[in-house]
Amino acid sequence: MKIDLNCDMGEGFGPWPMGDDDAMLDIVSSANIACGFHAGDPSIMFRTAETAKRKGVAIGAHPGFNDLHGFGRRVIKGDSPADIERMVAYQIGALQAVASLAGHRVTYVKAHGSLNNMANEDQDLARAIARAIKGVDADLVNVCMPGLLMEKASETIGVRVAREFFADRTYEDNGALTSRKKPGSVLHDAEAAAERVLRTLQDQAVTTVSGKRIPLRIDTICVHGDEPSAVAMARTIRAKLEANGVSVGPFTGQ
């Protein structure tokens, strides 16, 4: 069995770093690079893409709301689907240009934070994101959660998908992530998270907070780079997978 391990990266801004991207790029196989709206800037985008290329890591655009203050995790309403479509296309194009300058290429897209969560609850928003991806480059893959609106919208519009499982988050019975506002929604025990990832892959199902078992098809596993324990968790997860015969590699070409 082969699986992709992805991480959100390039999420600093100016002189303010966020996470240990250099160390994480030695562990993961795909890097979701912030495109300057919720985090990141052209120099950070360039350095992240350049380092990923050197280390054989695939890269994807990680567009979010224009929300530096809230790190893209605040609910922002009022934009029309057309506005969202253009906003996402703009961010994908920005990373494509900077990645090209760094000698790398963007092969997928993964919406960030509230933009992602809201799209899984709003069909028009999900379709706007899928249209943006297809409009910029029909070969791009949309990384999305299985069984939710983003996956369905992408399939309807003709955008390929990679189905994602979050290693360090808990799930509700509808297949959505538990709100970060709830205690215990983010997992910090690396060994427990690694065991959960392995079990989920083997069973092709996730156990929710209520104990319900939901079947899942999984192409990529996400670890969040902004947690203090992120590198240790990613390293522990990769070691657990490889020790059990699971190889780690990008779901797209580099």
pLDDT of residue 253: 55
Contact assessment for residue 39 and residue 67, using Cβ atoms and an 8 Å cutoff: no
In a domain, 84, yes or no: yes
In a domain, 254, yes or no: no
Q: How confident is the model over 227-231, as a mean pLDDT? A: 81
Q: What is the pLDDT of residue 78?
A: 80
Domain contains 216 = yes
Residue 254 has pLDDT above 70, yes or no: no
- In CATH, what number is assigned to the domain containing residue 239? 3.20.20.370
**Which residue segment(s) compose the domain that 27 sits in?**
2-248
Please state the rounded mean pLDDT for residues 101-115: 97
Compute the average pLDDT of residues 62-68: 94
Number of domains present in the structure of the chain:
1
- Label residues 117-137 b or e (16+ Cβ within 10 Å = b): bbbbebeebbbbbbbbbbbbb
- What is the model's pTM? 0.94
Which pLDDT score, from 0 to 100, does residue 26 have?
97
Q: Is residue 77 part of a domain?
A: yes
* Residue 220 located in a structural domain: yes
pLDDT band for position 83 (cuts 50, 70, 90): very high
In a domain, 229, yes or no: yes
In degrees, rounded to 5, the angle at the alpha carbon of residue 19 between the alpha carbons of residues 18 and 23 is 140
Residue 188 banded pLDDT, cuts 50, 70, 90: confident
Of 110 and 77, the one with more pLDDT: 110
